[in-house]
Amino acid sequence: MIEPMSRPRPPYLLKQVTRHGRVVWYVRRGKGPRIRIRGEYGTEEFNAEYRAALDGQPRPKRGEPEAATLAWLIARYREVDAWQRLSRATRRQRENIFRGVIETAGDERFARITAKTIAAGRDRRASTPAQARHFLDAMRGLFRWAFKAQFVKVDPTVGVDDPARPKTEGFPPWTEEDVAAYEKRWPIGTRQRVWLDVLLYTGLRRGDAAKLGRQHLETARRL
């Protein structure tokens, strides 16, 4: 009899209780072969065998240190629902972050990454606060999933503060002179003029104005 573990659980890991009451663990992807995990559940040996089974690698020798890398963990993250639920834009943004992380630290063992490591990565991007925030968001998503999936015992992003936002006065509002100068540069009929007129004369919010198109012309006529 095979029983799934209670959630959260690592992907593809199955629990079997034999007729003698013995608990046995297997890894199985889809309809592929079952791979027996011989280590005791929750130990480093068990985790190393589990990761080797996922990667199709030989079973680690008994006592061999865990060798799973940060690049491996990111690859596993890309396979799960937590990643697929992100918007396409967010995935693309985080892919760029992960590409840089893999290039500089992909060979690091993810179990050794600490809050200090994450904070250092944030601080290296301090000159571009937006990149620092995106880095921290990406690593939080990765390690929150890894913690729930029991790949790590501690989420190293917990307690790491967001980068300080630069103090600015924001974007200056346009004056009537600014609008007149723009209208002179971009006359009616140009695409650049359309967006200004939509924002100025429809009263729509920015998000709604960005969606406005030909599909709304008939509705406007009826109104």
pTM for the whole thing? Answer: 0.53
Same domain? For 77 and 17 the reply is no
Same structural domain, 46 and 14: yes
Which residues constitute the domain of residue 51? 2-55
pLDDT of residue 141: 96
Any domain includes 20: yes
Residues 131 and 74 in one domain: yes
State residue 197 phi and psi, 5-degree precision: -65, -40
Domain-ending residue, one of 95, 128, 148: 148
Count structural domains, the chain. 3
31 and 88 housed in the same domain:
no
- Is residue 188 domain-shared with residue 130, that is, in the same domain? no
- pLDDT 10s digits, 186-200: 999 898 988 888 888
Rounded to an integer, what distance in angstroms lies between the CA atom of residue 105 and that of residue 109?
9
Q: What is the pLDDT of residues 138-194, one digit of tens each?
A: 999 999 999 998 888 999 999 999 887 767 777 788 899 999 999 999 999 898 988
Question: Is 164 inside a domain boundary?
Answer: no
Helices within 109-201 (DSSP H only): 115-124, 129-148, 176-185, 191-201
pLDDT digits (tens, 9 = 90+) for 104-114: 888 888 988 99
Q: Is 155 inside a domain boundary?
A: no
Question: Average pLDDT, whole number, for the chain?
Answer: 82
Residue at 223 is within a domain:
no
Alpha-carbon torsion 1, 58, 156, 100, what sign? negative
Is 115 among the domain residues? yes
**Residue 170 domain-assigned?**
no
- Looking at the structure, tell me whether residues 74 and 144 fall in a common domain: yes
134 and 86 share one domain: yes
**Do 14 and 39 share a domain, yes or no?**
yes
H or E, element range at 17: strand 13-17
